[in-house]
Structures are given as C-alpha cells and as structure tokens.
C-alpha cells in the first residue's frame, strides 16, 4: 500500500484541545512477529473491550523553537518512564502529520484499570493518543468521513504499538491482510462489516490477575525473536488458517470451534516464546493451575468457558453473558485463590473508542 495518502500537513499552528477514551482489546488470533515499520507478519483479530480503557486529553499549542515536543501526566503525576515510548511514537507519526513539529502537546492520561495490574495498557494508551492527534488534524479536512478518520487513527496508533491499531473500533477488529476479510490490510485495522453471531454480543471477559509485575521480556523483544525462529513460517501460516476458521465460528456461533481456535492460539503464542532463542516462559504455576481447572470445569458442566493469554501470566476468561452467574461462582470459588491478591477485572466486548 502506498502510504502517501496518509501524509497531511496542516497550514498553520493553532490552539486545540480534545479528549478521547480508547479501549483495550484481547486478541483471539495473535499478532506475534513484525517487520518494517510496525507491519505484522500475520493477520490478527480481537475483541474490543469496554471497561478497560485509557482516557487521554491533549492540549495542542504553537511551539517555539527549542521548546519540548510534549509534557505528560499520568494520573495527574509526572511519569518520565513513559517518555521514551511517547517520544518514539511522535517521531514515527510526524512524517504523516508534519504539523506536529510546530506544536507542543500537553498530554494527560488515566487508565480505568489498576496501574501495574499486569494488563497491557499500551494498546489503549497509544490508541487514545492517536485519536486526539487525528481529531486535531480533522479540523483541516472538512470532507473527512467517519471511516477516513478511524482509518488514520488506527494507522497512527499502529506506529505506537501494533495491537493499538485494533483499539479504535469494535466489536471485533482485524489487522493484517487475511483472505477471509477482503478490506483487511497491514497498515490499519478494520471493523469488518460482517454479521457476527448474536452470542458474541456482550461476550464476557474476566481477566484473572496472576502476576501484577513487569513482564521479564517485553512484547517488542518477543516479536523480534520471531525473526529466524525455527517455527516462524508454520506459525504465520497457521494464523492465516485460524483467522479464516474463526470467522466461520464467529458468524455461525459455533462455540466449540471458537473455544478450540482461541485456546490453540493462546498456547501457540506461548509455545513460540518457549522455543525462541533465547527461550523464555511467561506462564506461572498459577496460570497452569487455572488452565487445568478451566478444562475440568468445562468437561463437567459443558459450559462454553475458554481462556486466552497475552504475552504474560494473566488469563482472560471468555464466555457468553447468559452463563455469567455459574461461571462467576466458579471463578470466585476455585480460581481467585490463584490470583495475586485475589484480583480480577470484569469486562465485556465493547464498540470502540469515544470522544469525551
């Protein structure tokens, strides 16, 4: 794809203030491996969440020569450890919106979920920041459709963090070219115009916090280890096949197939980490205890509960809203004991970002 159409320079520097809320997302088919400038090695698909969100306000003002590009507050406090990631994001997106060089950005951010809960916040954080920036740009495009706006927001968010491309729209978004979704591409995520089966409306995601700590290997490093990985080719092919099969399960409401594919993806992601060079394990004993209990519970009750994992020890439990009561009872009675300080977060599928 020629990305020239994403370049736009505003005519003059101005004052502007905006605020956006962007959701976190949970991948069903995982993005693991990238190339070039934040381009995925395989397509991924995710549920957009509704409760785990980042809210970000940005105040744009004309920048004098020598002024800093931005200042940043997280929960009203200065947090310099976030600066390198924001700096890198702004550097990557400036070629697509050179007017940023003539503005100072005062950024203030807040997460709805506990900070350091072990829940990745880079997707929602980068998406919220990208939305504020595209909202600023929008003033100069009187002809922009909603679709063009969301497309550019996802394009910029991707440059901050790959999975952030999928944190703009909902309820399901696809990033990376897949035969199953004709409009899909590597540069921005789309919310396919597909009639998903109603069972997936309000699908529940209970996030079990097994470990609140910093991951010992970051996702960015993990993606890099797919370069030269002995199973890389097979893995990328598998993701293509899985996304096609998952599309069928998601449109027909075939929960057995949905569970099979979702859990296979989660374990394959971790298998890639365990077989990279260097190899590493992010699951913990409590992660495995939970996975085993979920398997037994499903076999005994026949309830369609399944798990997925991100690149960490925490577990996302996915299930239809109608089974919430027995499943929450099971979580409280059997699984909370494996969570750090008994912590879990209740979330569900949502419809995407909003302007505040």
User: What is the chain's alpha carbon radius of gyration, rounded to the nearest angstrom?
Assistant: 20
The least distance separating ligand DP6 from the CB of residue 69, rounded to whole angstroms, comes to 20
* Contact pattern for ligand DP6 over residues 175 through 214, marking x by CB under 6 A: ----------------------------------------
Q: Per rule CB under 6 A, is residue 223 in the interface with ligand DP6?
A: yes
Between CA 169 and CA 290 the distance in angstroms is: 31
Decide whether 50 or 163 has the Cβ nearer to ligand DP6: 163
Determine, following the binding rule CB under 6 A, whether residue 130 of this chain makes contact with ligand DP6: no
Measured distance CA(27)–CA(174) in Å, rounded: 9
Please tell me whether residue 154 binds ligand DP6 under the rule CB under 6 A: no
Indicate whether 310 belongs to the interface with ligand DP6 (CB under 6 A). Answer: yes
Beta strands 44-62; 103-111: pairing state: antiparallel
The DSSP H or E segment spanning 315 is strand 315-319
For residue 36, the tally of other CB atoms under 10 A from its CB is: 7
Tokens coding 133: 């920036």
Q: Shortest Cβ contact with ligand DP6: which residue? A: 162
Query: What DSSP character marks residue 197?
Result: -
DSSP state of 349: B
Q: Is residue 162 involved in binding ligand DP6 (CB under 6 A)?
A: yes
CB of 222 to ligand DP6, least distance (A): 7
Cβ atoms of residues 183 and 147 within 8 Å = no
Cβ distance to ligand DP6 smaller for residue 35 or 355: 35
3 or 301: CB nearest ligand DP6: 3
Segment contacting ligand DP6 (CB under 6 A): 5-13, 29-37, 200-208, 273-281?
29-37
Q: Measure the CA–CA gap between 155 and 137, rounded to whole angstroms.
A: 14
Q: Is residue 263 within the footprint of ligand DP6 (CB under 6 A)?
A: no
Mark residues 60-99: x for contact with ligand DP6 by CB under 6 A, - for none.
----------------------------------------
Handedness of CA 287, 227, 214, 343 (dihedral sign): negative
Output the smallest distance, CB 65 to ligand DP6, in A. Answer: 32
Asked if 44 touches ligand DP6 (CB under 6 A), the answer is yes
- The structure tokens listed for 109 are 């951010």
For ligand DP6, which is the closer residue by CB, 122 or 204?
122
Q: Does 163 bind ligand DP6 (CB under 6 A)?
A: yes
Cα gap 138→64, rounded to integer Å: 23
- 262 lies in the binding site for ligand DP6 (CB under 6 A): no
According to DSSP H, which parts of the chain are helical?
83-93, 122-138, 146-160, 219-224, 232-252, 255-274, 285-301, 324-330
Whole-angstrom CA distances from 86 to 33, 80, 241, 332 are 22, 10, 35, 38
Residue 122 as a binder of ligand DP6 (CB under 6 A): the answer is yes
**DSSP secondary-structure letter at 190?**
B
How far the first Cα of the chain sits from its last, in Å, is: 33
Q: Is 229 in the site for ligand DP6 (CB under 6 A)?
A: no
User: Among 204, 178, 220, 152, which Cα is nearest to 44's?
Assistant: 178
Number of residues that bind ligand DP6 (CB under 6 A): 17
Interface with ligand DP6 includes 287 (CB under 6 A)? no
Residue 220 makes contact with ligand DP6 by CB under 6 A: yes
* Smallest gap from residue 91 Cβ to ligand DP6 (A): 15
Catalog residues that contact ligand DP6 under the rule CB under 6 A. Answer: 27, 30-32, 38, 44, 120, 122, 161-163, 219-220, 223, 269, 310-311
């Amino acid at each position: 794809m020629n990305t020239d159409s994403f370049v736009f320079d505003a005519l003059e520097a101005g004052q502007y203030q905006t605020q956006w809320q962007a959701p976190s997302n949970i991948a069903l088919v995982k993005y693991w491996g990238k190339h070039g400038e934040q381009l995925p090695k395989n397509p991924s698909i995710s549920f957009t969440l509704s409760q785990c969100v980042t809210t970000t306000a940005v105040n744009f003002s004309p920048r004098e020569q020598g002024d800093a590009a931005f200042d940043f507050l997280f929960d009203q406090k200065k947090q310099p450890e976030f600066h390198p990631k924001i700096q890198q994001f702004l550097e990557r997106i400036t070629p697509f919106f050179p007017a940023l060089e003539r503005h100072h950005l005062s950024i203030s951010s807040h997460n709805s979920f506990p900070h350091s809960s072990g829940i990745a916040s880079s997707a929602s954080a980068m998406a919220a920041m990208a939305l504020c920036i595209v909202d600023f740009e929008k003033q100069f495009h009187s002809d922009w459709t909603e679709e063009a706006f969301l497309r550019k927001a996802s394009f910029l968010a991707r440059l901050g963090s790959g999975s952030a491309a999928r944190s703009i729209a909902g309820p399901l978004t696809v990033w990376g070219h897949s035969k199953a979704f004709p409009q899909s591409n590597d540069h921005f995520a789309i919310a396919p115009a597909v009639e998903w089966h109603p069972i997936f409306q309000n699908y529940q995601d209970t996030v079990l916090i097994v470990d609140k700590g910093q991951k010992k290997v970051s996702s960015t490093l993990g993606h890099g280890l797919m370069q030269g990985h002995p199973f890389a080719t097979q893995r990328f092919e598998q993701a293509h096949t899985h996304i096609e099969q998952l599309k069928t399960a998601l449109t027909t409401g075939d929960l057995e197939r949905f569970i099979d594919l979702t859990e296979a993806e989660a374990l394959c992601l971790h298998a890639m980490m365990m077989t990279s060079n260097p190899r590493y394990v992010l699951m913990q004993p409590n992660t495995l205890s939970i996975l085993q209990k979920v398997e037994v519970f499903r076999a005994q009750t026949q309830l369609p509960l399944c798990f997925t994992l991100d690149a960490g020890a925490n577990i996302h439990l996915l299930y239809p809203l109608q089974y919430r009561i027995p499943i929450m009872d099971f979580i409280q009675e059997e699984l909370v004991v494996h969570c750090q300080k008994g912590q879990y977060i209740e979330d569900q599928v949502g419809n995407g970002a909003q302007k505040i």
